[in-house]
Amino acid sequence: MDTHTDGPHTGSHAHDLRHHGDAEVRDEKLVDLAVNVRTATPPDWLRERIAHSLTSLAAYPDGRSARAAVAERHDLPPGRVLLTSGAAEAFVLLARALPVRRPVVVHPQFTEPEAALRDAGHEVGRVLLREEDGFRLDPAAVPEDADLVVIGNPTNPTSVLHPAETIAALARPGRYLVVDEAFMDAVPGEREALAGRTDVPGLVVLRSLTKTWGLAGLRIGYVLAEPETVALLERAQPLWPVSTPALVAAEACMTRAALAEAEHAAHRIGTERAHLLAGLAEFDEVRTVEAAEGPFVLIRIEGADAVRERLRLLGFAARRGDTFPGLDRHWLRLAVRDRATTNRFLQALDQALLLGG
């Protein structure tokens, strides 16, 4: 593992922290393996709930019912819940509202937390996890003086699921421990989740409803944290930050039926991910991060940037890896799709590798 610190304007040029997977498919008709939103979503029942909410748009949004539903789902009091306009808003609130001086982000991971911290004027330290260690966390690699630590679980883009107790070992008095669990509901049983824990000091858990339920355009997520932290973040929010349709969606996704559907989807993703990994294992040129537990896999191919361009010509969009600190142009992230789509992709990958000689 490597640890280093970049100032608010130095070092960030090496990686485009604002690049996201949707840029890979925007304005082009490609099979989308670049964005981790589950296909065929939102489901019809959720669309209907959202559509019905449009009759209430004349009233200002009232988040109390949705907040209570999220709290009940995680067996927490409502004072430990903050609803946000997607997890992205939560990263901005954390960067602007928390009184921190030495933030550290564990990479490779989703780049928005670091981008938000930099935009707020913070100098950001990086802990870089290495391929040879399986991109797994060693808590000792995080500087003791870090007063805010950000890590994803399962981590985007590596798909590694860190043990909950390994992450909890990062907690310290006077430190905020921010865990991005945006993809945790894609893990069967949500094992290793810290959401709902109240015994870890300074814990801040972020959740998103975007990926599992296909709500990227609606923007809905939430924060679980100590009431004092929630109050700090809430004061930094604008009035009515979450729309009525988004609040209705949040409440609907907390029901027992919805949670059962998400669990079923998580098991199906696991099956489809195993099929994808088995297919990738047939290529001598491809190395995969075998510990994948999320709805995506990370692969290394020599010259992956060129392979990615050839895949685009063959109709497939893959997420470039070089925008993630700790990775370079030889990495690609692939979303897990159904078996038929995966088989067509594997055929295209074979062609793309042959075209490269």
pLDDT confidence bin for 4, thresholds 50/70/90 = very low
Give pLDDT tens digits for 114-163: 999 999 999 999 999 999 999 999 999 999 999 999 999 999 999 999 99
Q: Which range among 13-17, 87-91, 107-111 shows the weakest confidence by mean pLDDT?
A: 13-17
Asked if pLDDT for residue 1 goes beyond 60, the answer is no
For the ranges 13-22, 27-36, 297-306, which has the lowest average pLDDT? 13-22
3-class SS at 81?
A: strand
Task: Burial-class residue 5 by CB neighbours within 10 Å (0-12, 13-18, 19+).
Answer: middle
pLDDT at 101 over 90: yes
Residues 335-355: b if buried by 16+ CB within 10 A, e if exposed: bbbeeebbeebbebbeebbee
Quote the Cα angle for 355-356-357, to 5°: 90
Q: For position 223, what pLDDT does the model report?
A: 98
For residue 204, the number of C-alpha atoms closer than 13 Å in the C-beta half-sphere is: 28
pLDDT digits 0-9 by tens, 220-277: 999 999 999 999 999 999 999 999 999 999 999 999 999 999 999 999 999 999 999 9
Average pLDDT over every residue of 270-299? 97
Stretch 274-296: mean pLDDT: 97
What crossing angle do the helices spanning 244-252 and 44-53 adopt, rounded to 10°? 140
**Which range is least confidently modeled, 34-43, 83-92, 107-116, 239-248?**
34-43
Position 63 scores a pLDDT of 98
For the segment 205-217, the average pLDDT, to the nearest whole number, is 95
Which SS3 state, helix, strand or coil, does residue 339 take? helix
Among 142, 133, 132, 137, which residue's Cα sits nearest to residue 155? 137
Whole-number average pLDDT of the chain: 94
- Angular region, 283: left φ>0, alpha ψ -120 to 50, beta rest: beta
Q: What pLDDT score does 11 carry? A: 44
pLDDT for position 2: 58
Q: Does residue 3 surpass a pLDDT of 60? A: no
